[in-house]
Structure 1
């Protein structure tokens, strides 16, 4: 990113002040008309429904309208463009996500409070998330294990889906077309009666692969050679997802629901070609099945009992595009499928929510969870269960002072017992708000880290072996934060400073191969390794507990409303994440020190028939750290989207949209040694067209 561009962004955030986006556009007959103060938005960051202004836990909220205004149809783009302390690195193996300096395994992703699984080599497959049904996205920074258990060390991303109940029948079709064959089609049909509701959603997405240069280096730097390459920077895919949800209210106090979704995705990798390196014999195929069911019974206005069950299955493998031979024998034919990994999660949770006296909420809960891993490499077939109980009490201590105290007990089959406490305070005199939080976080070692017995042949034929470690300890963290904010009808500002101390971080340790290790590896992989393999393979990987990590950060957020229909929003994140390796403190890989998101939005309605919305948004960030390698340079990407809502009748609205992504054509054309050490994955300037049709 140009220095002047970055300084300008910092000046905007400093002088205009920064803050949480505090507007929400109502989805009424005027489309994107009408502004509501975000302080009236209900969030679930503390495990129950409450106004964001009353939450002792800071929550960054993106509403469906915020996402629609920017013309965003992709979950990854929604977070990248609107939340500065989130970064992504896409690949065929899913997306590597980093929140507040910590990576995938420290971030818990939920849909309606229930965990999302589906990682490939540690990268989560975010295409499982149906953008057509999102009502809002809540981002909780820092440790939240007291309420959510393992994996919530770096933060929680909770996706809340929409179940509209204001119309008997409503239907929406939303289509977007962009560069590189990008096509997104979402279609929803909702039917609601007094006692039975049906929500149906279908989503189709596709994208072509691309890279920003045609070369790569082969071998080890600096002796490697530059060759033509087909290795995509971003891997294309085709995907279909269908979701069906039923809600039944047989009596006024009882709500029952059942939901099922199926997701099918296959990558679109380039085939091998003469004269080019890389290229593939196979595409990767993904299948996801997710089933949920539950009920909520309200004893009266102050007491309720909720039961939720989740079954989530995720599997992926290789679907071959060409015949593959080994030693003159065809091992795979065109169309053959070879499963690489299968994950299962079963989760049963019971939650009792009580309001014992005015201004208080008390939660008692229990959860049983069982996770399974079946990996072809190394013939891994393991599972681990977790039983937990938790309680949380939120109360008003004084007129303007609230407090939340909670604790969770977890018994994990693999590592034993663990307690996770939490305490938070909110002091909000007049239009000011001050928050203080402390939470102990923990993360149980994953099944791959415990039991993996993994072999693969990397590019160039070099064997890569990774072993799990059954003696691993859970990772723990101590998270503290202090925030201050102010809001009125003209502007709103929040600034949060935090520290996150992580102990016993789990890393892949590189182990040199001696004679004993060689015999162990030959016995472990008799079909894959021979004596000749060790001419290329001199080390193998093994999971181990490292020293510690420390994340220091500041998040600042601002929204300004200079006049009716015009909004300016600025969000700034400073993140200094380090880890102690061999006695030396170094930046965590893929971390970004400074990042900014800026949004200017104009909305106006004429004659109650036509609404114009113009949205300009930008993301600017400093370099991305890759210790031991060349850092990825900073960048600034700006996007413009316009939408035009026409009310054709009482029941029908049409909303075409036209936008330009990456207006100034910011592209990273570097030739990287691994094709993975980038920060900006954008392909360049492109025009995006969309049309939404709403019937109700």
Structure 2
């Protein structure tokens, strides 16, 4: 049966369930009272209603997370418009989050407003973040660096954890079992009494992993287990002074015997809120975090040590913020801080240390009743590169209560980090792919050639080790929002221009089917497109949602070469060399032209149950240049065909506190095929359908 027929059958089946259950409870014509507008804090670092923010923002609520049955951050992000989990390192070997076509290096990940570190393998592994104690996830798209720094050129993802609210001890225990012996247990406890509150969360995940390459030694994802512990304290010393303290610890081990692979992630966060008056607020913050990995690769025959890969990154950051409201619609924000960071890695010649100081300012005001303007800038003084000023300006104009215009523009700067310069990483747990920094890639490729681990080098070897330059960017967003009655919609046009963009590229293919990756400057690159989000309440208890992104991502220098007629390619069928036209240029690697998501959420009050169906479609994308002309064109044979992932979940509550849920991810059993697999070896893209069931008990 074709993919289209499968999708149609699923939609009809879901609609049948809706119709049947609606008849059993009797549909009322009156609409349900609208929920209060969601509140967010990330876009402006002040409490704002989502509908009033002049920036492109996505808010993922706890209710949405619970109903889908997902357990990790990457799973829920992949279902949002304009956000794609991409195999930046290798298919099956690690994923990065891409926003508006901008790679994960430029997306800042926060937990309760403070940054997460640990990009040891090229991406920040979002699967290490459990979602069991999350209140909501806020995603700000585009350059918001005026408050968060140059790491946020592509956007900010802020994980907001829950706060205790009940005077009684409340909590929940849950266990989820899924395909591949995936076992996830978590428990949470919280209480709020008078001036004191606390919460505790613990999560354990384990799996047998899976293998996408039958001819490869080991598994694509090896068996592993991890633990997450998070404790938080809240104390209202006075009506004007509030104290918040939290600690988080994550530990993960992979079963790659006789080799070892471990990682640990820990942070401590202290924040003091002082409100000397109703118009003035001071926030004092201390934050420390560390990310440590210990990986030893041993020869499976004689247990000889082949590679020791230790990684220890630490960040200490004090920060002060000041907010003053001159009136209800005029707020000034000032802040400053200091970053001290160290990185000690066994594959580096010595420990790397750098520090920076920064100041930021923002003015949020309404010069007219229907016009909101936010102007801001951030100044960074870094020990490793020149000082940089990053300004931002955004505005929102409300034509009426339902229709509004949103505009924003911002610029930023990012120097090559030490990972991009000095990383020498081979991930035994992920199937053996390698990533080399620019300063060590030539030696790394030569080392693999000497040990006969390279099947072929796909770049000109004379280019290995060429200088990696710093980057600068400017981003634009222009959109409209509409909300009235049963329907709400947002449309956003975006463009991001980069000079000297640092991106990943494939340097070589290994004999085991994996790849060797490095970094490259794209002299002048842009991503542009359109995002569309629509939500519609068809029936009293039935909500539809759909999102679409059209994306174009190109290298301007390559476009000019094509226009000049100096780029050639070889037809894989006729082996004829032909001059390529501009229309033959597909664009930057790992970017899909079209991504679509569709969601149906249905409440069945009579049964105290709910059901949902979610579809994520990604059109085809290319992984690398395969015909030697240094760009991804339609003649390259490195394209992954477009595919749809269909996810389903059904949940029912028994006796108020017992919730049973079951479902399936990738319901159509998509597996696909990796075009970079070695000859006569099949390497899949996805492990297929994954069934799950979960029991949750509240107390």
Same fold (TM over 0.5): yes
Please state if 1:448 is matched with 2:425. Answer: no
The verdict on how the C-alpha distance between 1:92 and 1:381 changes in structure 2, with shifts beyond 3 A counting, is farther
Say whether the 8 Å CA contact 1:213–1:669 is kept in structure 2: no
Matched, 1:162 2:157: no
For the pair 1:558 / 2:514, whether they are aligned, the reply is: no
Task: Provide the secondary structure at the position in 1 that maps to 2:152.
Answer: coil
Aligned to 1:69: 67
- Pair 1:149–1:51, CA change in 2 (3 A): same
Q: Which residue of 1 aligns with 2:601?
A: 601
Aligned with 2:247: secondary structure? Answer: strand
SS state of the match for residue 74, structure 2?
Answer: helix
* Whole-angstrom distance in 2 between the partners of 1:639 and 1:510: 32
**Structure 1 residues 510 and 131, CA gap change in structure 2 (3 angstroms):** closer
| Offset, 1:43 | 3.8
- 1:526-552 Cα offsets, whole Å, 9 max, x none, are xxxxxxxxxxxxxx9986644121001
- Native 8 Å contact 1:605 1:612 kept in 2: yes
The answer to whether the aligner puts 1:260 opposite 2:247 as a matched pair is yes
Indicate if the aligned counterparts of 2:184 and 2:205 stay in contact, CA closer than 8 A: yes
* Counterpart in the other structure of 1:572: 548
Structure 1 partner of 2:119: 119
Partners of 2:82 and 2:99 within 8 A in 1: no
Structure 1 counterpart of 2:95: 95
- Any idea what SS the aligned residue of 1:67 has? helix
- Kindly state the Cα deviation for residue 164 of structure 1 after the two structures are TM-superposed: 2.5
| 1:483-498 equivalence runs, <5 A | 483-498=479-494
Q: Distance in 2 between matches of 1:510 and 1:489?
A: 50
Contact 1:448 1:468 in 2 (8 A): no
In the TM superposition, what are the counterparts of 1:55-204 in structure 2 within 5 Å?
55-89=53-87, 94-204=94-204
Task: Give per-residue Cα distances to partners, 1:279-333, cap 9 Å, x unaligned.
Answer: xx4132101111111211111222110011211111112256777759xxx548x
- CA shift, 1:682, in A, is 3.2
For 2:616 and 2:136, locate their aligned partners in 1 and report how far apart those are by CA, in whole Å.
21
8 Å CA contact 2:660, 2:694 repeated in 1: yes
Counterpart of 2:577 in structure 1 is none
> Equivalent residue of 1:53, what SS?
helix
Query: Shift of the alpha carbon at 1:128?
Result: 3.6
2:612 is the alignment partner of 1:615: yes
CA distance 1:680–1:249, change in 2 (3 Å): farther
Residue 393 of structure 1 and its aligned partner are, at CA, apart by: 0.7
* Match of residue 654 from structure 1: 658
Q: 1:494 to 1:552 in 2, by over 3 A?
A: same
Flag the 1:663–1:507 CA change in 2: closer, same or farther, 3 A. Answer: closer
Give me the whole-angstrom Cα distance separating, in 2, the residues matched to 1:92 and 1:631. 16
Q: Which residue of 1 aligns with 2:406?
A: 435
Taking the TM superposition and a 5 Å limit, the aligned residue runs for 1:331-410 are: 331=305, 338-410=308-380
1:503 paired with 2:474, answer no
RMSD: 3.4
Tell me the TM-score normalised to structure 2 length.
Answer: 0.80
In the alignment, the residues of structure 1 paired with residue 493 and residue 476 of structure 2 have an alpha-carbon distance, to the nearest angstrom, of: 9
Summarize the Cα distance change of 1:362–1:93 in structure 2 as closer, same or farther, 3 Å threshold: farther
Q: Distance in 2 between matches of 1:444 and 1:91?
A: 27
CA change 1:552–1:156 in 2 (3 A) is: same
Q: CA deviation at 1:462?
A: 4.2
Distance 1:624 1:268 in 2: 32
Distance in 1 (CA, whole Å) between partners of 2:691 and 2:3 is 27
* Superposed displacement of residue 448, structure 1: 2.3
Aligned: 1:293 with 2:263: no
Are the equivalent residues in 2 in contact too, given 1:97–1:103 (CA < 8 A)? yes
Tell me, yes or no, if structure 1 residue 476 matches structure 2 residue 472: yes
Q: C-alpha offsets along residues 372-430 of structure 1, whole Å, 9 cap, x if unaligned?
A: 11111132311111111011011112121111111111111111211111111111122
Which whole-Å CA distance do the structure 1 matches of 2:374 and 2:683 have between them? 38
Using the alignment, how far apart are the partners of 2:492 and 2:77 within structure 1?
A: 19
Runs of 5+ consecutive residues of structure 2 not aligned to the other structure:
13-31, 424-438, 509-515, 562-584, 627-637
**1:466-519 Cα distance to aligned partner (Å, 9 max, x none):** 99999855311111111112111211011100110011223579999xxxxxxx
Offset of 1:267 from its aligned partner? 1.8
**CA shift at 1:602, angstroms?**
0.7
Question: Which is worse superposed, 452-461 or 491-500?
Answer: 452-461
> What CA deviation, in whole Å up to 9, does each residue of 1:551-600 have, x standing for no partner?
01111001001221110000111111122466647622111110111110
Per-residue deviation, 1:441: 2.2
With normalisation by structure 1, the TM-score equals 0.80
Q: Structure 2 vs 1, CA of residues 292 and 490 (structure 1 numbering), >3 Å: closer, same or farther?
A: same
Tell whether the 8 Å contact from 1:469 to 1:542 is kept in structure 2 after alignment.
no
Secondary structure, aligned partner of 1:37: coil
In the alignment, structure 1 segments of 5+ residues that lack a partner are: 13-33, 215-227, 272-280, 513-539
Distance 1:393 1:578 in 2: 35
Give the deviation of 1:661 after TM superposition: 2.0
Q: Distance in 2 between matches of 1:249 and 1:626?
A: 53
> 1-side partners of 2:464 and 2:316: how far apart?
23
Kindly indicate whether the alpha-carbon contact (under 8 Å) linking 1:94 and 1:126 is maintained by their aligned counterparts in 2. no
Aligned partner of 1:524 in structure 2 is none
| Shift, 1:72, TM fit | 1.2
Question: For residues 377 and 461 of structure 1, do their structure 2 counterparts lie closer, same or farther at Cα, with a shift above 3 Å needed?
Answer: farther
